[in-house]
Structure 1
Amino acid sequence: MQRKATAQDVAKLAGVSRSAVSLVLNGHGDGNIASESQVRIRQAAKDLNYKPNAVALSLRNQQTRIIGIVSDRVISGPVDGNIIAGADAVARARGFVTLGLDTEQDEQRDASAVETLLDRHVDALMYVTVGLRELRVPAGMEKAPAILANCFDSRGPGHLGNVIPDEVWGGAEALRHVLAAGHRRLGFLTGPLDHPAVQHRLEGYRQAMAEAGLPFPDGAVLPVGWDIADGFAAASTALAAPAGERPTALLCANDRCAVGAVLAARGLGLQVPGDVSIVGYDDEERVADTMVPTLSTMALPLREIGAAAMTRILASLPRAARKATAGQQPDRTILEGEELIRGRFVDRASLGPVPAS
């Protein structure tokens, strides 16, 4: 059996000291080792297929290289797993692993889930939610570097930082595409008005209408739920109006609501998008892209949210480790504040030009 390469082998091939190899491969080369030497060291490690011993590295750095993730229903639910996938991809690329626990939306399990992860000596914590919402942060999350993904601290700014979708921009961008297609008679199937995502999207809709020099049609706001049946019921009512009065475009709370709206249109003998255009939100996999017609929709940047949150967590660890060594509380400076991530509009078959009179 071929002997595994050692750090000394890498040092010999690169023409540097073993300590230089350790500094570079442990992420501490900048400011300590010349850039040319760093390039040689990484190339030598690649040529020799050398990988540092994870256990030994953890002992030296006083890190487990494990990031704990608590979710309300992301792991066990059918959607939003892309947030964790995005976070995990960034972690793996940096030599970390993630350990996730799902509370299945039982707030009573939040504290125990956090403590379970802390008992495993995770280096940092992330809390991920299905859908944008306010979170009552478990107290244990103050014991380690921590960040929130797709949610925000109920205590307000100045506490745990977070990464969330830019829902104001998302609402405005979706409506811009609808207005660009010529639509002026609109219906907004918004979801519950007390939901934070709905409030932000409504703000975005108002912005887009103002940009276009148009008054916002408050009477066109139809608060509904998030499911197919909700979209079907609301759209059935909105589209039952005479041809010259009914909306020519419906902007829906999510893709499932939009599916219900398409079914309602068909039930009334209307063509999508020939008679009415329908736009969803989320770009839910195996829904928006497989629906007939395929749904135009505003894609939520789920992987990007997870990746951005993990990037901030990992950037905080060296400073946090120095604080811990000195017996001080974790340094959260780099984790403070709210980061907004923009999605993208996916133009598919359900959005067309305004129908001829």
Structure 2
Amino acid sequence: MKRATSRDVAVRAGVSRSAVSMVLNGKGDGNIAADKQAAILAAAAELEYTPNSVARSLRTQRTHTLGLVTDAIASSAFGGLLLQGASEAAAAAGYAIVLVDTHDHPEREADAYRTLLDRRVDAVLFAAMSLRTYEPPAAMSEVTSVLANCFDSGGRVRGYVPAEVAGGRTAASLLLDAGHRDVVLLAGTPDAMAGALRAEGFQLERRERGLPPGRVVETGWQIDHGYAAAMQVLAAPDRPTGILCANDRVAIGVALAAARLGLDVPGDLSLVGYDDDENVAGRMVPGLTTVALPHREMGESAVRHLLDRVRGDVSPSAGPAPQDATVLVPCPPVVRDSVAPPSPR
């Protein structure tokens, strides 16, 4: 069947092609009478008319595509949520995303930007697997750009990152609000920025409640790390009533250690994770109370920022004001069944 054209829509609605163009490009209000706008929209729907993207690009000098460069997140669960949020926000605005995953190779990253610029994408997003600083390459200055899960310490490109300090405070509150005072944080590793910020939030929450600093045990990020650390902490005479974990995988290890030692969760030990890993937190028994990382929200917010700038014809080289360079995206609590008031000893 022959594809409908804007001329077909104009004939069906009894208007000019310029009127069709105005209405379908969102410029009808104030220019085209309301009844004519309704007739054009009805005709376009009846004819299943969609604008020709190539012709539209030639008229607007835009391709309605966004470039997305990642370091190593395309195959991860969290990365999937970030990509999904970015893709859905772009699709809702009529944009497509061209994804290039560099597998954490710097030389591939440089090639990725050049490839995307050669394809004349309207804007570029770089997304990182783990929270870190990022040095925007020169290619980013050639097009509207934004960062997700990383930030530019120089403040040239806006970055959307998790509010990790606030998230650490939230995680601590989940145990403190339940009445726990003897809480141990099984932290990640010193080289991980996210872990250090969460630990900062943990101590800040205790300090603001007038409590002494909490115990922090450098642990790691995997199940076996959590198990090994918990076997030491829980076997000690001064075992805590609550444990806050670097992530949900560590929390699995703690739960296994508690079972090995005959301790009930949450009867004898309350447990809080971090990440809200879809493969872990909701599947544990009992369900793991945790703090969610806002990967989907970061992807959505970053793309919406790009689209706002592209639609507003903001100069691609115009960087954000210093106070707007890094946007903290909230990390909300996810309450399940692994926290209860401490039992009398």
| Same fold, judged at TM 0.5 (above) | yes
User: Of 212, 215, 224, which residue of structure 2 is paired with 1:229?
Assistant: 224
> CA–CA distance in 2 between the matches of 1:15 and 1:175?
65
1:306 aligns with 2:299: yes
1:11-22 correspondence runs (5 A): 11=10, 17-22=16-21
Identify the residue that residue 167 of structure 1 maps to in structure 2.
164
Query: 1:214-265 CA distances to partner (integer Å, 9 max, x unpaired)?
Result: 2332xx11122111121112111111112xx211111111111111111121
Alpha-carbon deviation of 1:106? 2.1
Query: 1:170-213 CA distances to partner (integer Å, 9 max, x unpaired)?
Result: 11112212111111110111212342212322232233224433
Task: Tell me the amino acid that sits aligned with residue 333 of structure 2.
Answer: F
> CA–CA distance in 2 between the matches of 1:28 and 1:168?
44
Task: Verify the 8 A CA contact 2:272 2:289 in the aligned structure 1.
Answer: yes
Identify the residue that residue 150 of structure 1 maps to in structure 2.
149
Distance 1:148 1:34, change over 3 A: farther
Alpha-carbon deviation of 1:123? 1.2
- Greater shift in the superposed pair: 131-140 or 94-103: 131-140
> CA–CA distance in 2 between the matches of 1:14 and 1:301?
46
Task: Verify the 8 A CA contact 1:258 1:279 in the aligned structure 2.
Answer: yes
Task: Verify the 8 A CA contact 1:63 1:123 in the aligned structure 2.
Answer: yes
Question: Which runs of 5 or more residues in structure 1 are unaligned?
Answer: 324-328
Alpha-carbon deviation of 1:22? 1.8
Identity %: 46
1:27-106 correspondence runs (5 A): 27-29=26-28, 41-42=40-41, 44-106=43-105
- Greater shift in the superposed pair: 105-114 or 251-260: 105-114
> CA–CA distance in 2 between the matches of 1:195 and 1:123?
33
Alpha-carbon deviation of 1:77? 3.2
> CA–CA distance in 1 between the matches of 2:79 and 2:291?
15
Alpha-carbon deviation of 1:356? 2.3
> CA–CA distance in 2 between the matches of 1:207 and 1:277?
20
Task: Tell me the amino acid that sits aligned with residue 132 of structure 1.
Answer: L
Q: TM-score, normalised by structure 1?
A: 0.87
Distance 1:36 1:193, change over 3 A: farther
Task: Verify the 8 A CA contact 1:70 1:103 in the aligned structure 2.
Answer: yes
Alpha-carbon deviation of 1:107? 2.5
Paired residues, what number?
A: 344
> CA–CA distance in 2 between the matches of 1:202 and 1:235?
17
Distance 1:186 1:200, change over 3 A: same
Distance 1:120 1:194, change over 3 A: same
1:126-137 correspondence runs (5 A): 126-137=125-136
Distance 1:38 1:90, change over 3 A: farther
Alpha-carbon deviation of 1:267? 1.8
Identify the residue that residue 213 of structure 2 maps to in structure 1.
216
> CA–CA distance in 2 between the matches of 1:199 and 1:43?
57
Task: Tell me the amino acid that sits aligned with residue 176 of structure 1.
Answer: S
1:209-288 correspondence runs (5 A): 209-217=206-214, 220-242=215-237, 245-288=238-281
Distance 1:275 1:49, change over 3 A: same
> CA–CA distance in 2 between the matches of 1:164 and 1:144?
21
1:185 aligns with 2:177: no
Distance 1:188 1:333, change over 3 A: closer
Task: Verify the 8 A CA contact 1:319 1:331 in the aligned structure 2.
Answer: no
Alpha-carbon deviation of 1:278? 1.2
> CA–CA distance in 1 between the matches of 2:258 and 2:249?
14
Alpha-carbon deviation of 1:117? 1.5
> CA–CA distance in 2 between the matches of 1:126 and 1:211?
38
Alpha-carbon deviation of 1:163? 0.7
Identify the residue that residue 284 of structure 2 maps to in structure 1.
291
**Superposition RMSD in Å:** 2.5
Identify the residue that residue 350 of structure 1 maps to in structure 2.
338
Q: TM-score, normalised by structure 2?
A: 0.90
Alpha-carbon deviation of 1:137? 2.4
Moved segments of 4+, more than 6 Å: 34-37
Task: Tell me the amino acid that sits aligned with residue 349 of structure 1.
Answer: D
Distance 1:62 1:339, change over 3 A: same
Query: 1:71-124 CA distances to partner (integer Å, 9 max, x unpaired)?
Result: 111113343211111000011111111111111122232211211221222111
Task: Verify the 8 A CA contact 1:316 1:331 in the aligned structure 2.
Answer: no
Alpha-carbon deviation of 1:12? 5.6
Identify the residue that residue 326 of structure 1 maps to in structure 2.
none
Task: Tell me the amino acid that sits aligned with residue 356 of structure 1.
Answer: P
Task: Tell me the amino acid that sits aligned with residue 182 of structure 2.
Answer: R
Task: Tell me the amino acid that sits aligned with residue 327 of structure 2.
Answer: E
